[in-house]
A and B are shown apart, each in its own frame.
Chain A
Amino acid sequence: MKSADAFEQLKFRDPERARGLRDALHRLVQRADHAPVSVMHVCGSHEQAIAKFGLRAAFPDELKVIMGPGCPVCVTDVPEVDEAVALAKQGVRIASYGDMLRVPGTSQSLADAKAEGAKVDVVYSVTQAAELARQYDEEFVFFASGFETTAVATAAVLVDDPPDNFSVLSAHKYIPPVMEIVAEMPETKIEGFLAAGHAATITGSAVFEKFVERHELSVVIAGFEPLDVLAGLVKLLEVINSGVPRVENAFPRCVTREGNVQAQNLLWRVFRPTGGRWRGIAHVPNGNLRLRDEFARYDTRKRFNIDLSAIWSYAPPKLVQQCQCGDIMAGIASPTDCQLFGKECTPESPVGACMVSAEGTCKIWHQYGGRPDLRSMKRGAA
């Protein structure tokens, strides 16, 4: 979508409110005692909404809204992909979400392994994976990605008597710990976070309270409507300007302080948090979700001896070494800073994971355009 259409899109629903929120953003940024003000969101769907509706064109120049590590497929680390590829090449049947097939490992993706004859299936959900497993008389591995919201579904299937041949190779990740890592990166200078509404439906807003205490950074939970995003940013700037860091819920129609306790109990009954690398970012203490010992019989890592040596004898392709996904997910670089963006690296032929997933910053910017020309936009929006 062209940037000048942004306010036409916003007009679609409530033009008065949209203009009011835009004006409030401009006022609040001017009232801040410094510029620019940088805030981060951690959700691919937020970036989709911001890019699709051209919201950056409505933001003041002095407000930087950066996408952090909000794409679960993108932060799946190379060795995790390698584990899946190695198993597939050992002849084990593997199922995963479509985007996960194309995420590059050290030498290959699951899609590459499939092209060479490995048994790899695409599923839309863990329930489908478990149902599919019942149809096979062989080992069946579900390569599970997603943040805590999605991990709840995996947990629900594992406590519901899954078939004996079914196991889970968990690449599930937990968002709150990575916010701590990114908050402490000196290059980012983040002053507050916009948290994802639907994830907070499950975790509740309370999960961010300790984070706010530790880092003195504010968190505002926002929904995905263009107006929800604008309202969330207005609230975040108000809180930043107030000088008193806190958690605010700008999406009360879906999020409560406690969240969905039943879902949280299920999540922590099946998974335990453990440290591990997030692709391109850092080692994140408690950032990975792994199966608890009680569920060891469904844990692919306990069930198989995964031999990675053959894969790690390859050197990664040269282009991959130029990929800036890591800096982009840490909020230090934009897709347009990368020399490969839109040239060697496209959705048809992705070099890095951020161009693979529908939630990856690079793919979103490639489709919608990331940062519209602000001056031309302002004329269009006037």
Chain B
Amino acid sequence: MCLGVPGKVIAVDREMQIATVDFWGVRKQVRLEVCDAPVDPGDYILNHVGFAIRRIPPEEAAETLALYDELLRLADEQDLMAGDVRDEIQAAPDATRSRKDALDEKR
């Protein structure tokens, strides 16, 4: 759980403070209210239990992604580190839910 997971921002809903983020092809909704810097589509963020805790500077994204690439591609189902990474991705809600549903739910 110490390990945040990087993902690429696809879209940003500023009113809701939610970003649609791509994690190796899985699209999730990540909350932005505790992120350290404003994010835009194309940025990378570090996700921890469904919250972006840091915007990763673009020049550093590749270096940060390498470990995760290896974990997700090469590690087997039982691997603890890969399991933690998958859990972190699972922690964010699927991006299929509409913005309106999210708003309605909040009310």
Contacts and interface: CB of A to CB of B under 8 A. Distances in A.
Contacts of B93: 127-128, 131
Interface string B63-88: 11011001000000011110110010
B105 interface: yes
Contacts of B53: 149, 152, 198, 201-202, 260, 263
B4 interface: yes
Contact of B33 (A128, A156, A199): A156
B60 A134 contact: no
B30 to A, nearest CB: 10
Contact of A153 (B3, B49, B57, B64): B49
B34 A152 contact: yes
Contacts of B48: 149-150, 153, 198
A363 interface: yes
Contact of A46 (B2, B4, B31): B2
A225 B36 CA distance: 23
Contacts of A261: 36
Interface string A188-209: 0000000011110110000000
Contacts of B21: none
Contacts of B92: 125, 127
A44 B87 CA distance: 15
A128 B29 CA distance: 12
A16 to B, nearest CB: 16
A52 interface: yes
Interface string B41-72: 00000101111011011001001101100100
14 contacts: A52-B81, A72-B1, A125-B49, A125-B91, A128-B93, A156-B33, A198-B3, A224-B3, A225-B67, A254-B46, A260-B35, A261-B36, A359-B84, A367-B79
B72 to A, nearest CB: 14
Contact of A131 (B46, B56, B105): B105
A13 B34 CA distance: 32
Contact of A224 (B35, B67, B79): B67
B56 A254 contact: yes
B81 A48 contact: yes
Given A126-B49, A128-B93, A367-B78, 14 more contacts: A52-B79, A125-B49, A125-B91, A125-B92, A131-B105, A149-B4, A150-B1, A152-B51, A153-B50, A156-B33, A156-B51, A201-B53, A224-B67, A358-B83
Contacts of A113: none
A271 to B, nearest CB: 14
Contact of A201 (B4, B60, B83): B4
A98 B31 CA distance: 22
A362 to B, nearest CB: 12
Q: How large is the interface on A (under 10, 10 to 19, 20 to 34, 35 or more residues)?
A: 35 or more
Given A146-B1, A153-B49, A359-B2, A124 B87 contact: yes
Interface in A137-158: 146-147, 149-150, 152-153, 156
B74 to A, nearest CB: 9
Most buried by A among B1, B83, B84, B91: B1
B11 to A, nearest CB: 18
A266 interface: yes
Nearest to A262: B34
A156 B92 CA distance: 14
Contacts of B78: 367
Contacts of A364: 80
Contacts of A266: 33-34
A127 B33 CA distance: 13
Nearest to B5: A198
A70 interface: yes
Interface in A252-266: 253-254, 260-263, 266
A49 interface: yes
Given A125-B50, A152-B34, A260-B34, A363 B80 contact: yes
A201 B84 CA distance: 18
A98 B49 CA distance: 13
Contact of B84 (A45, A150, A260): A45
A6 interface: no
Given A253-B57, A254-B54, A128 B66 contact: no
A44 B49 CA distance: 16
Nearest to B85: A45
Contacts of A199: 2
A125 B49 CA distance: 5
